[in-house]
Structure 1
Amino acid sequence: MDSPKLHLACPHCGATNRLPAARIDDAPVCGRCSQPLLAGQPLELGDADFDAVVQASAQPLLVDFWAPWCGPCNAMAPAFKQAAKALQGQVLLVKVNSDDNPQLSARFGIRSIPTLVRIEQGRETARQSGALPAQAIVALATR
């Protein structure tokens, strides 16, 4: 059976790339410009592709449940990106829009946003609600 396909926008040229979820840990590069697709950027996932990435990745994941209307979520976004750069190759940072992905939000019991959930080998290993600075995000991700 084929691995579900992720659609990743290249942070360098904007091209959309289809990537089998099973290759998420393979340092994928853009088909157009050959630059790294993840390049220390958070990966946006949702109800349709979240489980495939969790199952395929050997790296721990740190998931940011957020919403576009949330002030603290927007205030934390630059720190989350900064942490993604610092943790590149060690922890995969993921953003899940809780408004657009109600099944994931319900499954993880998200009651407030932003909420960060650390997942390792398919199991939740840590959780923190509220906006955090980059160094606290890194500390949570590397517990």
Structure 2
Amino acid sequence: MTTDPLHIVCPHCHTTNRVARDALGQAPDCGKCHRPLFDGHPAALDADAFEKHVARSQIPVLVDFWAPWCGPCRSMAPQFEAAARELEPQMRLAKLNTEEAQALAARLQIRSIPTLALFVGGREVARQPGAMGAADIVRWARAHLPRA
């Protein structure tokens, strides 16, 4: 395994950290806010934080586009939370409220919610509309990762 540092954006203060690839599973903390970079919970993002996480993170970013009034979104929330516990630290899971980031949702052409989108290297590589269970989220996300 390599120790080449990866850029990992903190889910709390959104500072970009350098973390050795083989140290991802050792509960690294943010160099600025000293909180865990991975805590088994999806990061709540606004439009600015979304742009930073997608552009700067060198691990895949799986985003749940949702809204508080959406029943299927609310029912999928605990499933997405469970998927975060399984997929971190190899992947950042995040949630973006489309009601608070309407311009971003429009630019990304999010037409239904919930919608999952997987970003790798700053680019969207897969999208899946509709609510899913935790096992299906994990399976879907892993199936759409680029092969090394």
TM-score (norm 1): 0.79
* Cα distance change of structure 1 residues 69 and 30 upon mapping to structure 2, 3 Å threshold: farther
Q: Secondary structure at the match of 2:95?
A: strand
Structure 1: 5+ residue stretches without partners? 9-17
Q: What's the CA shift for 1:38?
A: 3.1
Return the letter of the residue paired with 1:38.
F
Higher share in helix? 2
Q: Secondary structure at the match of 1:142?
A: helix
Return the letter of the residue paired with 2:141.
A
Q: Secondary structure at the match of 1:125?
A: strand
Q: Deviations over 1:28-56 (max 9, x none)?
A: 35989x66253111011111221111122
Is residue 17–residue 30 contact of structure 2 (8 Å, CA) maintained in 1? no
Aligned residues: 128
Q: What's the CA shift for 1:70?
A: 0.4
Q: Secondary structure at the match of 1:39?
A: coil
Q: Percent of aligned positions with the same letter in both sequences?
A: 42
Match for residue 73 of structure 2? 73
Match for residue 29 of structure 2? 28
Q: Deviations over 1:93-133 (max 9, x none)?
A: 01000000012201210111000001111111111111000
Return the letter of the residue paired with 1:103.
A
* Cα distance change of structure 1 residues 24 and 104 upon mapping to structure 2, 3 Å threshold: farther
TM-score (norm 2): 0.76
Q: Secondary structure at the match of 2:82?
A: helix
Match for residue 44 of structure 2? 44
Task: Give, in whole Å, the separation in 1 of the partners of 2:63 and 2:14.
Answer: 20
Match for residue 82 of structure 2? 82
Task: Give, in whole Å, the separation in 1 of the partners of 2:11 and 2:129.
Answer: 28
Structure 2: 5+ residue stretches without partners? 1-8, 144-148
Is residue 60–residue 91 contact of structure 1 (8 Å, CA) maintained in 2? yes
Match for residue 100 of structure 2? 100
Task: Give, in whole Å, the separation in 2 of the partners of 1:24 and 1:135.
Answer: 30
Is residue 62–residue 94 contact of structure 1 (8 Å, CA) maintained in 2? yes
Q: Secondary structure at the match of 1:83?
A: helix
> Alpha carbon RMSD of aligned pairs, Å?
2.4
Deviating beyond 4 angstroms after TM superposition, the runs of 4 or more aligned structure 1 residues are: 29-32
* Cα distance change of structure 1 residues 127 and 24 upon mapping to structure 2, 3 Å threshold: farther
Comparing 89-98 with 48-57, greater Cα deviation is found at: 48-57
